[in-house]
Structure 1
Amino acid sequence: MSSTPEVYLDAASSERLHPAARDTLVAALERGYADPRRLHRAGRDARLLLDNARAVVADALGVHPDEVGFTSSGTDAVHRGLLGLTAATGRDGIVHSAVEHSAVLHAAAWRPSPATTSIGVDATGRVDLVALAAAAAAPGVGAVALQAANQEVGTLQPVDEAALPDGVPLLVDAAAAVGHVPLPRRWSVLTASAHKWGGPAGIGVLVVRRGTRWTQPFPGDDGLEELGGFPNVPAALAAAAALQAVLAERDEVTARQFGQVATIRAAAAALPDTEVVGAAEARLPHLVTFSCLYVGGDEIVDELARRGFGVASGSACTASTLEPSHVLAAMGALTHGNVRVSLTRETTDEQVAAFCAALGEAVTAIRERAGL
């Protein structure tokens, strides 16, 4: 085991807390403790902070503050957003791509409908737009869900090219995309998760455009002001500060990361019996996934950890259950021996070069132990 600090390469699971978020969180803890629904001074102070957080997030996403709500997580935002659309339309059918986050799949299965349809993708993970539009036009469909970018392989979805019928709203899960790439413009509901962009964990974002038919699908008051009970005001403000800072530095960071990931893609592709999956160009700048024959993904993760690199294997949503990745299966890719590498905003070229060398050593060592 290396004695040097581990190089963290799992930002797609959770990015390190941005310095802007850390500083804001500490300051907000002193002022944002009270119930923002109360009329006393401390409550009004908390309300001011919460409104400021909502305004900053709205400005960053190019929407109105009254369209923004904070939830307890990105998963919570997806559930509320998607089920709120079907509740408002009175139609339970949900059309979604086969590679959506498990939050979408679980929401679709929670209220089963004959009109619920999973749409296939090509070998890069890009959805079949013709099939998506046809399924969306079927009777009983209350919403369509299409992610901005895939959380496992990084492929960007052609959201703005989707030709959906009038009256069928679109939810875009932007958790993997916010802070990394420009977001789609055509959507009814958008969801995101603060810890993916360097904000604190436990803060999701639910954006409902004005004019969209949406209602609170769970017990509680309707509207976006009070989703899920007592709001975490300091965390919401810290999430807003991180998002503002990340967008200010995005062009420089993503240009560097795109080149770094290209280096890793080339190194992985050069290994015998290894397949790099996902789109080569229309992708997230910081993420790459590859699969190695004759090698277990957990073995590669362990071997790389011994060499000082922290990466992920399996589905971001199912790794703990040891289930094969539904994303890779939908793409027709190898579901065994897969590794996801996702760079932080601080990852250096030197760390990437060292990782590429360690990757070759790790895969070779595992195969030699197996007599391959």
Structure 2
Amino acid sequence: MRRLLDAASGPLHPVARDTLLAALEVGWADPARLHAEGRRARALLDRSREVVAAGLGVRPTEVSFLPSGPTALTRAVDGLAYAARRRGARTVASAVEHSAVLVPGRARAAAAGDPALFAEVAVDSVGRLDLDAWRNALAVPGSVVAALQSANGEVGTRQPLAAARDAAAAHGIPLVVDAMASLGRDDVPRDWDVLVGEARSWGGPPLGVLVVREGVRWHWPEARADVEQGRADVTPWVPLALAAAEAWQQTTATRPADTQVARALVDDIRRAASTVPDTEVVGDPDDRLPHVVTFSSLYVDGEAVVGALDAAGFAVASGSACTSSTLEPSHVLAAMGVLTHGNVRVTLPLPAVSPALADDVRAFTAAIAPSIRAVRDQLGVGDL
């Protein structure tokens, strides 16, 4: 029996899946065309945008659909930087941001021969931003973009968005908020200038959401003016937008109950992992996303533990949430100053896609200690 406990990338909400299949029949046309099929596709795309915009509390014209969340995140930063290029080129971000922010930022600084063009601000041991360091970084002349997650998708810790945005606004710097891990699973952030989401976080298909508040200076020179408010060069596939909108409606309707269930189950996982010798449960235990938890164990590596749990029927993850396919040590845990190897990350699926979720978590909590012990025994270290 397989038990899914790595739902950072899906699966689809069952109603959204049905919508996607139905949309293949009615929404396949290019919404830019003037024939009847194209006009129908345009109406469906507009309706999808209205649903997502209403859920986010913004105007439909502020919402654009992009191929993926990471694409939208990179585009968000690039558009702000380009619009402000006459004032400077410096970006300020936390050290636990998504690789879609960190990798391009480091590359641009390296290409310019000026490491100061990309500032990575430290976090504390639970992964929360050092606000004093953030304020100091924003005060450096030439800073034009600030980027911060609403909450970390690996350890769950929420960030102090209100204080972070106030600090950025004091210097006239717009704030990009990466909400890819939280939208649909936590309260919608309110303190941002540009917001980024990913429909997979709320049970939708792969589809990025980029929201630029009216009045914010943003420009991407490669965009087509007639596509997604000038924020993209590819028209979104209408069936994906419809499925994303349907998933949003379904998830929003059940979120209070789903949040309560997920938080209690994550508490169970945190307690079970904390009883394993030389194992640390990371992230803020209270001020966090309800459905995410990571723990790390000494004497083992994450790949081995994931393999042992996979053999036992549990699908979990390891490594950094944004580069998990490589199983590289987590840059998030490294920035927090906690154990980087031997980590296991759980992202609970929505109850709608996993009716047996409580049973799955119960079985998982019973399997944590013996699985880690078995890996340690294979290495000849045991519980030292």
TM-score (normalised: structure 1): 0.95
Q: Share of identical aligned residues, percent?
A: 52
**Which residue of structure 1 lines up, in the alignment, with residue 7 of structure 2?**
11
Aligned runs of 1:335-346 on 2, under 5 Å? 335-346=340-351
Greater alpha carbon shift after TM alignment, 318-327 vs 335-344: 318-327
Partner of 1:247: 252
- Mapped partners of 1:68, 1:364: distance in 2: 49
Matches within 5 A, 1:72-83: 72-83=67-78
Gap regions ≥5 residues in structure 1: none
**2:135 matches 1:104:** no
Alignment of 1:97-176 (within 5 A): 97-112=94-109, 114-162=116-164, 163-164=167-168, 165-176=170-181
Aligned counterparts of 2:175 and 2:77: Cα–Cα separation in 1: 9
Matching residue within 75, 81, 89 for 1:86: 81
- Given candidates 40, 44, 63, the residue that maps to 2:39 is 44
What is the root-mean-square deviation in Å for CA atoms of aligned residues?
1.5
The 1:209–1:142 alpha-carbon spacing in structure 2 relative to 1, beyond 3 Å, is: same
Who is 1:362 aligned against? 371
How far apart in 2 are the matches of 1:95 and 1:341? 29
Given that 1:215 and 1:222 are in contact with CA atoms closer than 8 Å, whether structure 2 keeps it comes out as: no
Q: Which amino acid aligns with 2:3?
A: V
Alpha-carbon displacement from aligned partner over 1:20-52 (angstroms, at most 9, x marks no partner): 211211221111111111111111111101100
Asked whether the equivalents of residues 32 and 234 of structure 1 are also in contact (C-alpha less than 8 Å), the reply is yes
Residues 115, 138 of structure 1: 8 Å contact kept:
no
Q: Aligned with 1:312: secondary structure? A: coil
Amino acid at match of 1:137: A
Q: 1:257 aligns with which of 255, 262, 267?
A: 262
Q: Which amino acid in the other structure matches residue 195 of structure 1? A: R
Q: Which residue of 1 aligns with 2:59?
A: 64
Counting matched residue pairs gives: 366
Change (3 A) 1:145 1:260: same
Three-state SS of the structure 1 residue aligned to 2:153 is coil
Match of 1:272 among 274, 277, 280: 277
TM-fit CA distance, 1:219: 4.8
Alpha-carbon distance in structure 2 between the residues aligned to 1:168 and 1:214: 12
Would you say 1:293 and 2:298 are equivalent positions?
A: yes
What SS does the aligned partner of 1:118 have?
strand
Query: What are the Cα deviations for residues 112-132 of structure 1, in whole angstroms up to 9, with x where unaligned?
Result: 253321000000000011211
Shift, 1:223, TM fit: 6.9
Normalised to the residue count of structure 2, the TM-score between the two structures is 0.92
Q: Structure 2 matches for 1:216-227, cutoff 5 A?
A: 216-221=220-225, 224-225=228-229, 227=232
Secondary structure in structure 2 of the residue aligned to 1:290: strand
- 8 Å CA contact retained: 1:67, 1:224: no
CA contact (8 A) 1:82 1:107 kept: no
User: Does residue 212 of structure 2 align to residue 208 of structure 1?
Assistant: yes
| Aligned-pair CA distance for 1:186 | 1.5
CA drift of 1:15 comes to 2.2
Matches of 1:309 and 1:222 in 2, distance apart?
Answer: 46
Selected match of 2:287 from 282, 290, 303:
282
Displacement, 1:315? 0.9
Query: Per-residue CA shift, 1:168-196, capped at 9, x if unaligned?
Result: 00000000010111122111100011112
Question: Does the 8 Å CA contact 2:197/2:209 hold for their aligned counterparts?
Answer: yes
| Secondary structure of the structure 1 residue equivalent to 2:228 | coil
